[in-house]
């Protein structure tokens, strides 16, 4: 997977590293030790996204969050994701976490958009 950043300024409001660590914990909490299961995958994606969102909101920053999760079964096929954003690079930011285990890939993207204060 290739993720390309449009700009090089880092947001002073959104801490990508911190968000990335939190998301990794959420992923491992939900699908850390399981194999791909067609019946449960919808619950998993919803669970990962909801937990990540709850943790992010607890940080108490003046940001709106969008969290997106894609889980794909491993079958030899490739998967590409990309994002392009029109925002203020000094306050807004994103982070993408890639995770995999024996049977599936998981990609979570977090977008944080500031509100005017």
Partner 1 sequence: KVKVSPRTSPANQIKQGDRKREKGGWNIKKESSSHLNLKTCPAANSCKNKPIKLISYENNMYHPQPVRKFSALEAQKVMRSVLEEKLKHVRYDEKAGARLTVDLAESVKDAVRALGYERYKLVCYVVLGAVRRSEISCCSRSVWSPVSDTYAEYCFKNDSLFALCIVFAVYYE
Q: Which residues bind partner 1 (CB under 8 A)?
A: 1-2, 4, 38, 41-42, 44-46, 48-50, 53, 56-57, 64-88, 92, 94, 109, 111, 113, 115-116
- For residues 50 and 27, give the distance between their C-alpha atoms in angstroms, rounded to a whole number: 11
Min dist. Cβ of residue 27 to partner 1 (A): 13
Quick one: 10 or 57, whose CB is closer to partner 1?
A: 57
Min dist. Cβ of residue 18 to partner 1 (A): 17
The DSSP code sequence of 4-49 is --S--PPPSS--HHHHHHHHHHHHHHHHTT----TTTHHHHHHHHH
- Alpha carbon 93 to chain centroid distance? 12
- For residues 110 and 64, give the distance between their C-alpha atoms in angstroms, rounded to a whole number: 10
Min dist. Cβ of residue 14 to partner 1 (A): 13
Quick one: 28 or 50, whose CB is closer to partner 1?
A: 50
């Amino acid at each position: 997977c290739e993720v390309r950043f449009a700009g090089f300024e880092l947001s002073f409001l959104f801490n990508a590293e911190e968000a990335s660590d939190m998301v990794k914990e959420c992923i491992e909490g939900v699908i850390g030790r399981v194999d791909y299961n067609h019946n449960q995958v919808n619950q998993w994606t919803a669970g990962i996204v909801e937990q990540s969102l709850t943790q992010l909101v607890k940080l108490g920053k003046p940001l709106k969050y969008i969290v997106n999760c894609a889980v794909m079964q491993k079958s030899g096929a490739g998967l590409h994701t990309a994002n392009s954003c029109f925002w203020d690079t000094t306050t807004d930011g994103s982070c993408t976490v890639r995770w995999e285990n024996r049977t599936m890939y998981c990609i979570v993207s977090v977008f944080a958009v500031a509100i005017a204060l």
